Homo-oligomer: A and B are copies of this chain.
Amino acid sequence: MLKAIQILGSSSGFVSHHWKRHTSAGFSFVAISIKPLSSTSPSRSCLRGVATTSTSSSFLPMSSSTSRTHCSSVFPSSVRSESNPGGTSSSSSSVAVQSAGNARKINFCQWCGGATKHEIPDGEEKIRAICTVCGKIAYQNPKMVVGCLIEHDNKVLLCKRKIQPSYDLWTLPAGYMEIGESAAEGAIRETWEEANAEVEVISPFAQLDIPLIGQTYIIFLAKLKKPNFSPGPESSECQLFALDDIPINSLAFSSMLVSLNLYVEDVKAGRFKFHYGTINKRRKPVFESLN
């Protein structure tokens, strides 16, 4: 059966939503659009069961959508936009160089130190930073954030962030994937670092791309190897939450809200799927910042 859901919210707070989603036997597609709106009153209804509707539309921007379901006031204003969700230290957070790529911010060649120019190279379509001395191109690509959705006694494990951004908000243990590890290994490492919890990955659960900020979230279902956990250096608290008690008004990132939403839906359906989707954030219009 095909389903369609789409979410509309804001980069600094979800206030209404429209999901577009297609499901098949073993996986589902999700497309979420986030845009700034004026109302900010939160509700928990959609975490407890997102409204869905049948559609034949495709999830991809290249295809047109034919049906949408609206459910207003779902996302709390405290849900933040994703950036530097963890995985390194507070010191690395403070310099905030894990941002989405902008070639014009690259002024020097990291290999030879030469000044860069910002042009579209032959045969390409995007502006890149090109060294005027050695000619090398500094490519910037999306980063992967890997994390675990840990099930234990019908509860899920969340960590309260002790670092910026999204200080004091709750997140699944997750952080930037490193070179030299697999996504699953990275998710296990991040869980150890943020929650002192030793976990075993059960299955891939979701891939959520956020094109605007150049991030892809890879979330795995996991279980505790031992029933022990405690806050790591980047967390002030770690806690198991029953599904009805998930603090959706205090989640750190929209990707976490979407992941938990999909998880609750799968639990209710009695079957876990692999979910692939995009979270399409929109830059706030200029007039919005004048209010």
Contacts and interface: CB of A to CB of B under 8 A. Distances in A.
A230 to B, nearest CB: 17
A211 B185 contact: yes
A42 interface: no
Contacts of A181: 211
Interface string A171-188: 000001111111111001
Given A124-B92, A182-B211, A176 B60 contact: no
Interface of A is mostly: loop
B105 A108 contact: no
Interface stretch (A134-142, A151-159, A253-261): A134-142
Interface residues of A, number: 77
B123 A113 contact: no
A62 B89 CA distance: 24
A78 B71 CA distance: 54
Interface in A160-212: 176-185, 188, 200-201, 203-204, 207, 209, 211-212
Nearest to A123: B89
A138 B106 CA distance: 11
A27 to B, nearest CB: 5
A242 interface: no
Interface string A65-101: 0000000000000000000000011111001011011
A49 interface: no
B123 A233 contact: yes
Given A26-B27, A110-B138, A207-B207, A179 B89 contact: no
A92 to B, nearest CB: 6
B105 A111 contact: yes
Interface stretch (A1-9, A12-20, A33-41, A273-281): A273-281
Nearest to A102: B179
B209 A182 contact: yes
A227 interface: no
Given A25-B271, A184-B209, 9 more contacts: A26-B26, A27-B203, A97-B111, A110-B110, A139-B176, A141-B144, A182-B209, A182-B278, A204-B207
Interface of A: 24-27, 29, 58-63, 88-92, 95, 97-98, 100-101, 105-113, 115-116, 121-124, 126, 129, 135-144, 176-185, 188, 200-201, 203-204, 207, 209, 211-212, 214, 216, 218, 233, 271-274, 276, 278
